[in-house]
Amino acid sequence: MSALRDAPSDSSSSPLSPRMTRSAVSCAAAVLASALLLAACGAKNDAAAPAGGGAPPPPEVGVVTVTPGSIGLVNELPGRLEASRVAQVRARSTGILQKRLFTEGSDVKAGQALFQIDDAPYRAAMESAQASVAQAEATVAQTSDLVKRYKPLVELNAISRLDYDNAVTAQKTAQANLAAAKAGATTARINLGFAAVTAPISGRIGRALVTEGALVSQTESTQLAVIQQIDPMYVNFTQSASDTMRLRQAMDSGLLKRASGADAASVSIVLEDGTPYPSKGRLLFTD
């Protein structure tokens, strides 16, 4: 700006026209603005430069140390759930089904009554067998008393040896008949018990396969219901023969090692909707 004020006092310079004077002022202002802009930019760059004019510090990097370790082999295989125990409830006596004593689809306990078959004929058979036992016991008592009376008499030759031997034989026959009668009574009691159908195992029972009033048969082994034990449950997996052969060859060659103890093979179940089942399983065997 001082250069512009001193210009008119110079005696050697020629006078400027007003138009030329305004143009000179505009050009000088533009040059001054450019100089200020360049000066500002230079100051910013100088501030960004590191102190002392040295090189920027090296970037920080992370270091990872690699160590050898064991990595588990993971295979995803399709599986199918299966109950650990399955029992078919069948009729073991012939008769009319009178009652269903369980709720379909519920959990039952081993020994719980499920069906009731008409037991009137079996109860009559048991009572007849018990009467036969009582009769045989009376015969045994009678023959035993006879042997006791004959024994001192035969020693004194008061009776013949043949009579004593016949009494002993009658006693043994009565004892055999008593044993047969007791066996018959036991059979009758078992048949009577079969009229009350009970659960052979604990588990979840399905629907009843027969209804009240149906005739069930022991000879045909009429199926009445099915019980499945679902705690625990099995999961059957299917793996191709080629994959199985590759795994065995890798184990035989030492490329893979079989885990044992706490590191043994474990099984995680993923349901059809992709949700993982909370409880894990363990591999029992391959077949």
DSSP 82-150: EEEEEEEEE--S-EEEEEE-S-TT-EE-TT-EEEEE--HHHHHHHHHHHHHHHHHHHHHHHHHHHHHHH
> Is 255's pLDDT higher than 50?
yes
Instruction: Give me the half-sphere count of Cα atoms (radius 13 Å) on the Cβ side of residue 164.
Output: 14
Mean pLDDT of 171-185: 96
> Is 32's pLDDT higher than 80?
no
pLDDT in tens, 79-127: 898 999 999 999 999 999 999 999 999 999 999 999 999 999 999 999 9
Strand partners, 83: 233
pLDDT of residue 263: 52
pLDDT in tens, 225-249: 999 999 888 999 888 888 888 888 8
DSSP symbol at 235: E
Strand partners, 197: 115
**Model confidence, pTM:** 0.62
Mean pLDDT, rounded, of the chain:
82
On whether the CB atoms of residues 95 and 195 are closer than 8 A, the answer is yes
pLDDT in tens, 155-168: 888 889 999 999 99
pLDDT in tens, 5-23: 444 444 444 444 444 444 4
pLDDT of residue 43: 44
